[in-house]
Amino acid sequence: MRKPSLLAVAIGLIPFIGMCFSVGWWDRVSPMVFGLPFNLFWLILWILLSSGCMAFANRVEERRKKDQPL
């Protein structure tokens, strides 16, 4: 297994931006979505998106392994 590729690392930074650094923007009650305060809704949304990001990063790494076998 080689070091993670730059693209895979960049994908991993996306959830950090969505869930952590942008807290000042999303930490509010309104607008409520599905009856949830906006901050709670936002985090649930990003749990799903983070899982998606990891799936994408995994594909990037798998493809690299196939294209350039060791």
Partner 1 sequence: MKPSTVAISVIFFIVFVASVVGFRAGAGRKMNLEEWSIAGRSFGLLFMWLLMAGEIYTTFAFLGASGWAYSRGGPALYIMAYITLGYVISFYILPYIWELGSRHGLQTQSDFFEKRYCSKGLALLVSLVGVLFVIPYLQIQLTGLGIIVQVASFDQIQRSTSMLIAVCLVALFVFFGGMRAVAWVSVIKDFLMILAALSIGIYVPVHYFGGVGPLFHTLSTTHPAHLVMPGATKTMGHLWFISTVILSACGFYMWPHTFGAAFTAKNGSILRRNAIVTPLYTISLVFILIAGFAAVLVVPGLANGDMSLLMLARKSFPPWFLGVIGGAGALTAMVPAAIIILTASTLFAKNVFRPIFAPQMSEDKVSKLAKAMVLVLALISFSLALHSSSTLVALLLLGYAGVTQFFPGVVLGLFWPRVTAIGVTTGLVAGLATIATLMLSHRDPFHGVNAGFLALALNFAMTVFVSLATPVQANPLPLLTDLSRVFKTKALS
By CB under 8 A, name the binding residues for partner 1.
1-4, 8-9, 12, 15-16, 19-21, 23-24, 27-30, 32, 34-37, 39-40, 43-44, 46-48, 50-51, 53-55, 57-58, 61-62, 70
Question: In the complex, what is the shortest distance from the CB of residue 63 to partner 1, in angstroms, rounded to a whole number?
Answer: 13
Distances (CA, A) of 11 to 21, 62, 68, 69: 15, 14, 20, 22
* First-last CA distance in the chain: 9
As measured in angstroms, the least distance from the Cβ of 44 to partner 1 is 6
